[in-house]
Amino acid sequence: MASPGWYPDPDDPGWHQYYDGHRWTGNRLPTNAPSPQTAPLPSYQPQHGQPPQPWEQAPQPWGQPPPRRRSRVPWIVGLVAVLAAGLSVGGYLVFRGSTSPTFTFDGKAIDSPNKPLQQTDAVVRSLVSSRHGAQSQDTRCYYAVRTQQVPGVNKSDIDDSIWCGPVLFIDGDPGKQYLRFPLNSEPAAGGKVTLTPSGQPISEDPEPVPSGLALQRPDHATPPSGGGGLTAPAPPAAGTNALLATDVGTATVPAAPPGAVIGSSNGGITLTKLGTVKRYGTGDAARRAPTGSALIAFRLGGAMGDGGVPADLSSNATVSVNGGAGRKLPNADSDQYLVIAVPNSARSVDLVLNDAGHKQTLSLLSGKPGAGNIEVLARTHRQSDVRKTGSVHFTFSQTVGFPDGSSGTRQAGTYTVDGATLAFSLPGKHVKASSTSEALLYVDVGYTVPQSPGRNFGFQPETMTFTPKGGAPIKARNVATSADMIYDIFEVPADLTSGTLHIAGSFTTKFVNSSSSYITTVATPIAVPVTFPAG
């Protein structure tokens, strides 16, 4: 853009005209007249008192000409007209220059050009208020005109939008501070057009004004330079009882502590993420922690139940603050967090699950399970991969007959151990541990003998004991629901990590075809170490 100064009039080489840095003022001098140092006031600024005498000033060098102006009536003719008008009203001159800039739309004059701007000003004020945005005393709406002449387009033509700013919203970009409202046009009387602005901006996000446009208003107000000193506003406070599923923006929520699990017969809940955040959400939906409160963000997943299939029971859970009434958790997408606002003075904030006859809790302050929780179902490791195969020998108190038709007082076979499992209950066997701090241990062990090909037998519970490391031997219990089956279990501490299975001793059995009994003895004792990873 050219600097203010006197430039050759491109329409009349015999004259110079003053350019104020933004527009031609209409003030002209003959080419051979000395140029004044002081620029004349623009024609649109009111002036009272004596008119300026530019030809009495010291000359000023000519500069480079600005863009072409529209053709004008020679300056001397305008001066004569002004002098005549001044003399007719009282004998002194007034250069008022109060006319508004001329704006056109597709070459047609705009009917009431202030009205669309006023309408949009009101919309912007309402938007800024409802969206908790920021504006300044310089925030207003403008028409946009091209800074470079386009062939076939009037220099006074505006573009098809109203631009309003500067404004900034939560998380806004300081380099983008203008809302753009599209304009609709309808023919009006006298060959003019009526412009009606949209009630909503093209985008809810402000944008920069393109470099090829200049913002102007009929009242000559100009936009502030840069961003007008605006900064993106902070989010408003969340409600004191906020509980919702949302994103947490750029905040990092740490992993929950190990063992932050509620387990149940039908599945469970795993707390995967847990921590406090200063705010949640983005843009207009963002909120900060209420005064005197904190925002706790957490994520949940499923857990393995006694049935051996993972299931997420979080839809059945509630949240209780200080032991108060539970509030149902909202549904959350996989990329969302659950966020709750709680008083800084809260003594407890608990996730609560009622399932299968047990009420269990998980602290959202520390991630620790409640004291009455089922401990073994909170474990990550409830499976042992113990594997062992060996020989087993039996002796009988008298001669017995075998299924293959042979008989004898001794029998040899092969035993196999194929893993072990910890559980709280065995729904299919209608049994569960006697307390939440105990667990049921099942070792998958059996044997085969040549005299009964294709069959796998279980050891009688009288021959089975399990000794936890540092503990006393625990006797087996057969919980099979059929009299001809064996399903041996041991009740052990829920935090068991190691121990030894012992198979030895004798038991009494009746002959299948007689009321007489005989004694079977495991002639060679068997010992199998069993370990579970901690946690």
Asked whether the predicted pLDDT for residue 528 surpasses 50, the reply is yes
pLDDT at 228: 78
pLDDT digits (tens, 9 = 90+) for 488-521: 999 999 999 999 999 999 999 999 888 899 999 9
Asked whether the predicted pLDDT for residue 103 surpasses 70, the reply is yes
Asked whether the predicted pLDDT for residue 390 surpasses 70, the reply is yes
Nearest one of 369, 384, 498 to 437, comparing CA atoms:
369
Query: Average pLDDT, stretch 251-257?
Result: 97
Entry pTM: 0.71
CA dist 110 → 102, 163, 190, 213, 439 (Å): 9, 17, 10, 19, 85
pLDDT digits (tens, 9 = 90+) for 420-452: 999 999 988 999 999 999 999 999 999 999 999
pLDDT digits (tens, 9 = 90+) for 333-370: 999 999 999 999 999 999 999 999 999 999 999 999 99
Asked whether the predicted pLDDT for residue 73 surpasses 60, the reply is no
Asked whether the predicted pLDDT for residue 178 surpasses 70, the reply is yes
Q: Hey, where are the domains in the chain?
A: 5-88, 104-216, 243-378, 383-531
Asked whether the predicted pLDDT for residue 166 surpasses 60, the reply is yes
Greatest alpha-carbon span in the chain: 149
Query: Average pLDDT, stretch 464-485?
Result: 96
pLDDT at 226: 76
Asked whether the predicted pLDDT for residue 99 surpasses 60, the reply is no
pLDDT at 59: 39
Sorted by sequence, the CB contacts under 8 Å of residue 124 that are 6+ apart come out as: 135, 139, 141, 164, 167, 179
Dihedral (CA of 257, 259, 264, 268) sign = positive
Asked whether the predicted pLDDT for residue 38 surpasses 80, the reply is no
Sorted by sequence, the CB contacts under 8 Å of residue 76 that are 6+ apart come out as: 28
Asked whether the predicted pLDDT for residue 465 surpasses 60, the reply is yes
For residue 61, give the H/E element and its range.
none
Cis before 236? omega within 30:
no
* CA–CA distance, 346 with 294 (Å, rounded to integer): 10
Asked whether the predicted pLDDT for residue 168 surpasses 80, the reply is yes
Retrieve residue 204's tokens.
Answer: 């809810």
Decide which of 229 and 155 is more confident.
Answer: 155
Residues β-bridged to residue 392: 413
CA dist 232 → 172, 202, 247, 301, 306 (Å): 6, 20, 19, 36, 52
pLDDT digits (tens, 9 = 90+) for 192-240: 999 999 999 999 999 999 999 999 999 999 999 877 789 999 999 999 9
pLDDT at 71: 39
Decide which of 7 and 393 is more confident.
Answer: 393
Asked whether the predicted pLDDT for residue 11 surpasses 90, the reply is no
Sorted by sequence, the CB contacts under 8 Å of residue 254 that are 6+ apart come out as: 273, 274, 275
pLDDT at 13: 64
Retrieve residue 436's tokens.
Answer: 């939440």
pLDDT at 100: 60
Give me the helices (H) in 191-334, please. none
CA dist 512 → 231, 446, 467 (Å): 92, 21, 34
* CA–CA distance, 370 with 363 (Å, rounded to integer): 7
Q: Which residue has the tokens 């299939």?
A: 309
pLDDT at 149: 87
What is the band of 380 on the pLDDT scale with cuts at 50, 70, 90?
Answer: confident
pLDDT at 101: 76
